[in-house]
Amino acid sequence: MKLYYSPGACSLGIHVVLEEIGKPYELALVALKEGAQHKPDYLAINPKSKVPALDRGDGTVLTELPVIAFWLAKSNPEAGLIPTDFEGEVRCLEMLDYVSGTIHPQAFTRQFRASNFTPREEDQPKVVEQGKALAAKYFDTLEKTWKGGTWLLPSGYSVADAALFFVEYWATRRCGMTLPPRLDAHLKAMLARPAVQRALAQEGLAA
């Protein structure tokens, strides 16, 4: 397997999952800041110009973080990264989707790439403010509806935790946010996991 990633991008969530699984894989750098995602070499891998993408080693490539996380968890059941009952699995997918489909684009892409949301440069600070407000609102929703203990789901650690981790990491390390108590404890618990520490170190990121 080969993970196409960029340091500190959402691909960090999949990097953590691969480290949790512990099977051999390669990392392939896609330097987003240099526009590598738009170059023909990478478009041949992922025509959507995004990371993460996972080459599964059989000539096929998967894209979209929730789908990659789901596939990795289901094809490595011994790693115990997804609930085994149907309802638990559905709740896990629900969380993956909330992080990747709502929190990532609405709260954080607004802050990191305001120009994607408005053609007028003078409106960009407003877009960033909206992103900050939405991040606080979404994290507050998670805090109030938290059903797990240390981990997000009551069934225990799962790929949903790896997904929540990358937005918590952005919030605190890139955006200077203070997380509500359960999420703060969750981030600390994630940072204590050897798999997370290895993924951060391999990407050259501080814990």
Ligand X SMILES: N[C@@H](CCC(=O)N[C@@H](CS)C(=O)NCC(=O)O)C(=O)O
Mark 83-102 with x for binding to ligand X (rule: CB under 6 A) and - for no binding: -----------------x--
Residues written for the chain: 207
**How many other C-beta atoms can be found within 10 angstroms of the C-beta atom of residue 143?**
15
For ligand X, give the closer residue by CB, 12 or 82. 12
Residue 167 CB, shortest distance to ligand X, in Å, is 10
For ligand X, give the closer residue by CB, 106 or 150. 106
Residue 4 CB, shortest distance to ligand X, in Å, is 9
Q: Does 160 bind ligand X (CB under 6 A)?
A: no
Integer Cα distance of 108 and 175 in angstroms = 9
- The only residue of 9, 81, 162, 164 in contact with ligand X, by rule CB under 6 A: 9
Which of the stretches 17-25, 47-55, 73-81, 127-135 binds ligand X when contact is defined by CB under 6 A? 47-55
- Residue 15 has which token pair? 């990097």
Which of the stretches 43-51, 70-78, 80-88, 131-139 binds ligand X when contact is defined by CB under 6 A? 43-51
Residue 103 CB, shortest distance to ligand X, in Å, is 11
Is there a contact between 167 and 104 (Cβ–Cβ < 8 Å)?
Answer: yes
Distances (CA, A) of 181 to 3, 155, 186: 32, 20, 8
Q: Does 106 bind ligand X (CB under 6 A)?
A: no
**How many other C-beta atoms can be found within 10 angstroms of the C-beta atom of residue 103?**
26
159 Ramachandran zone, left/alpha/beta (phi>0; psi -120 to 50): alpha
User: Who contacts 121 (Cβ-Cβ below 8 Å, separation ≥6)?
Assistant: 115
- The only residue of 18, 45, 65, 167 in contact with ligand X, by rule CB under 6 A: 65
Closest CA to 68 of 143, 166, 205, 141: 166
Q: Does 55 bind ligand X (CB under 6 A)?
A: no
Contact residues toward ligand X (CB under 6 A) are 9-10, 32, 37, 49-52, 64-65, 100
